[in-house]
Amino acid sequence: MKITRELVQRLRHDLRAGLASLRLGTAQAAGRALEETERLRLRLEMQKIDQRLADLYKDIGERAVDMKERGAEVDHIIEDADIIRLVGEAQALQETRKQLEDEMASIGREE
């Protein structure tokens, strides 16, 4: 009977250790999945910003070329209210993109 009792105790111990290991592995996998989900969300947000920046750059260029074709001086083009507004929007988006890059870089380092 002593052998059976020791065997049962060992099985019980091994089962508990296995379950603890399983819980730990599950928690780690869930944490990695959350990190990847957050990275994906940030990448998608950055793609939206990149597209908006491309549109703004195109608008700025078209406005400048249109003004130049109409004979505007370079000083007037640089001081144009629409161009100044569009450049301001582009700078704000660049700052937002930088913040997203920093946030993405910090994912996973917070452990």
Instruction: Please report the pLDDT score of residue 110 as a whole number.
Output: 58
Spatial separation of the C-alpha atoms in residues 109 and 52, rounded to whole Å = 30
Q: What is the pLDDT of residue 41?
A: 95
Rounded CA-CA distance 13/4 in Å is 14
Q: In this structure, what is the dihedral angle of CA atoms 40, 42, 47, 52, given to the nearest 10 degrees?
A: 150
pLDDT of amino acid 2: 66
pLDDT for 14 equals: 87
Q: What's the pTM? A: 0.72
Q: What pLDDT was estimated at residue 45?
A: 97
Greatest alpha-carbon span in the chain: 105
Other C-beta atoms closer than 10 Å to the C-beta of 54 total 11
CA dihedral 63, 65, 67, 70 (to 10 degrees): -140
Q: What is the pLDDT of residue 76?
A: 94
Q: What pLDDT was estimated at residue 59?
A: 97
Q: What is the pLDDT along the chain (111 residues), one digit of tens a residue?
A: 567 888 888 889 988 988 888 898 899 999 899 999 999 999 999 999 999 999 999 999 999 999 999 999 999 999 999 999 999 999 999 999 999 999 998 986 754
Asked if residue 67 lies in contact with residue 80, where contact means CB atoms within 8 angstroms, the answer is yes
Return left, alpha or beta for 71; rule: phi > 0 is left, psi -120 to 50 is alpha, else beta.
left
